[in-house]
Amino acid sequence: MSQARFINSIVFDDLDLDDEFPNLATGIMILLGDFNSVESDRVIKELDKYWNRVKKVGVDTRTWPAGNPGLDLDHIFNSRNQVWSVEQLTIPNDGNEWNGIKWPLVSDHIPVLAKLKLLEQ
């Protein structure tokens, strides 16, 4: 939770980090990774205050463990200060090879891949 709050404080200028992040107010902002938190956890709810989670109706978002995904721990977010279109969201968690890769042999997580289009900044 402290990391989620720290990220929010950096991005939304509660901390004076203009030297470290000079284009933060006008730049494209995408946040992604292994958050070790499912959609209903308070960490994700904290991030949801200032970020839009990249999702698409009908896409199974479970990413962990790769051998038999049961939890959605990996997420992509974009800034609420921008308008994005989710053109494609792929989470190859069906146990089959994807692009020649058998994910359980490569990682303990299934990747989250998205094609996004920035509509308004």
- CATH of residue 93: 3.60.10.10
Whole domain around residue 94: which residue ranges? 2-120
- Residue 72: pLDDT band with limits 50, 70, 90: very high
Token pair in block for residue 57: 């109706």
For residue 112, is pLDDT > 90?
yes
- Residue 12: pLDDT band with limits 50, 70, 90: confident
Token pair in block for residue 105: 């042999």
For residue 36, is pLDDT > 90?
yes
Averaged confidence pLDDT in the chain = 91
Give how many domains the chain has, as a whole number: 1
- Residue 15: pLDDT band with limits 50, 70, 90: low
How many C-beta atoms lie closer than 10 Å to residue 59's C-beta?
15
CA–CA dist 46, 43 (Å, integer): 5
Per-residue model confidence (pLDDT) at position 100? 94
Is the peptide bond prior to 92 cis by the omega test (within 30 degrees of 0)?
no
